[in-house]
Amino acid sequence: MLEEHEKVGLPCKCTGLVSWRTPETVKLPKELIVNKLDKGKFFSPDESWFELKSKKEVYVLDRPGLDKFLFDEAKKEGAEVKTERFENFTRSNVHIKVKTSKGVYETKLLIGADGANSLVAQTAGLEIPKNIYVGMQTTAIGDFEQCAELWFGKNIAPNFFAWVVPENENVARIGLAASSTPKVYYEKFLKSRLGHNGLKPDVAGVIRFGVMKDTVADNVMLVGDAACQIKAFSGGGITYGLIGAQVCADAVEKSFEENKFDYEFLKNVYDKEWKKKLVPGINKGMLFRNIHKLPEFQQNLVFRMVKMFGYKVLTTFDFDLLSG
């Protein structure tokens, strides 16, 4: 396992809001759960809003803690860890030679779990979607209702949304993602929501979504953000990444059992398999993204109509579409 940073989980690039599906996928230690929420408030550009109650609670996690927990689990299972930066690879017969900042390794299978700007994907020549958003977030003190807030509008967060996720009544994670100049919108949003914009971001990162044609190449598989296993509406990638990782682990096992590491084999045992599980959700998220294309007056109208007529449907809504 190659990781470029000394401290696992840092710098943090995530809010850590996940649905009930995450603790169903991985048995999380209790201390990683910072808060539990069961409702979200959705604000339209004119600040009218509706509330959505989740069927099951969503969890606010200690996000660096989650990485550390998964890292320790991998070590317990025998993973050998090196703090080195992956640089590139070349192919030689059945192996590939991986060059890092500190050395060269031979492997039959390279798993790129290296995030939204995956160098493994780029080196393998895999086409990466161009839908990119930059997110930034801070931790603020104040009085916060125990619900997730989502704020929409092209003057708030172009093509995405801003969020307030409380850790408790007095502390919240506040941020947004946007397709351009996120810092400008971040400062503007803090000012309108908190009354000041003096807080520097303590979380920042790239969100990339879309369905990649291939997430495998000869001797290579991508997983997590590197494979765009991410919800298109919310940018949440923890649950999908964990599901992708399970399919990936099964595929690795099959690959070694049959001693096959070529594109065709990996396409069948991994790429097609994870897509069966996750692509319907990704496509649904793409559909929901159409809200961003509407002019603001129509967005306001949609929010009002949902508030008036959609409440019954929304109380049984699967919040997993919106969280991670």
Ligand X SMILES: Cc1cc2nc3c(=O)[nH]c(=O)nc-3n(C[C@H](O)[C@H](O)[C@H](O)COP(=O)(O)OP(=O)(O)OC[C@H]3O[C@@H](n4cnc5c(N)ncnc54)[C@H](O)[C@@H]3O)c2cc1C
CB of 20 to ligand X, least distance (A): 13
CB of 317 to ligand X, least distance (A): 18
Asked if 251 is part of the footprint of ligand X (rule: CB under 6 A), the reply reads no
**x/- string (CB under 6 A) for ligand X, residues 218-237?**
------xxx---x----xxx
Asked if 5 is part of the footprint of ligand X (rule: CB under 6 A), the reply reads yes
Asked if 119 is part of the footprint of ligand X (rule: CB under 6 A), the reply reads yes
Subset of 160-179 contacting ligand X (CB under 6 A):
175, 177
Asked if 45 is part of the footprint of ligand X (rule: CB under 6 A), the reply reads no
Asked if 241 is part of the footprint of ligand X (rule: CB under 6 A), the reply reads yes
> What amino acid is encoded at 24 in this protein?
E
Tokens of 222: 């991508």
Instruction: Please identify, using beta-carbon distances, which residue of 33 and 238 lies nearer to ligand X.
Output: 238
Asked if 145 is part of the footprint of ligand X (rule: CB under 6 A), the reply reads no
Subset of 182-221 contacting ligand X (CB under 6 A):
203, 205-207
CB of 98 to ligand X, least distance (A): 10
Query: How distant, in Å, are the alpha carbons of 78, 137, 163, 308, 324 from that of 157?
Result: 43, 13, 10, 25, 19
Burial 83-103 (b: 16+ CB within 10 A, else e): ebebeebeeeeebbebbbeee
Q: How far, in Å, CA of 253 to CA of 28, rounded?
A: 24
Asked if 153 is part of the footprint of ligand X (rule: CB under 6 A), the reply reads no
CB of 37 to ligand X, least distance (A): 12
Q: How far, in Å, CA of 163 to CA of 306, rounded?
A: 20
> What amino acid is encoded at 201 in this protein?
P
Contact (CB, 8 A) for 176 and 152? no
Q: How far, in Å, CA of 300 to CA of 304, rounded?
A: 6
Q: Which of 85, 125, 123 is nearest to 105 (CA)?
A: 85
Asked if 318 is part of the footprint of ligand X (rule: CB under 6 A), the reply reads no
CB of 106 to ligand X, least distance (A): 17
Among 4, 72, 106, 253, binds ligand X (CB under 6 A): 4
Q: How far, in Å, CA of 137 to CA of 122, rounded?
A: 28
What residues make contact with ligand X under the rule CB under 6 A? 2-5, 13-18, 85-86, 113-115, 119, 135, 137, 175, 177, 203, 205-207, 224-226, 230, 235-238, 241, 324
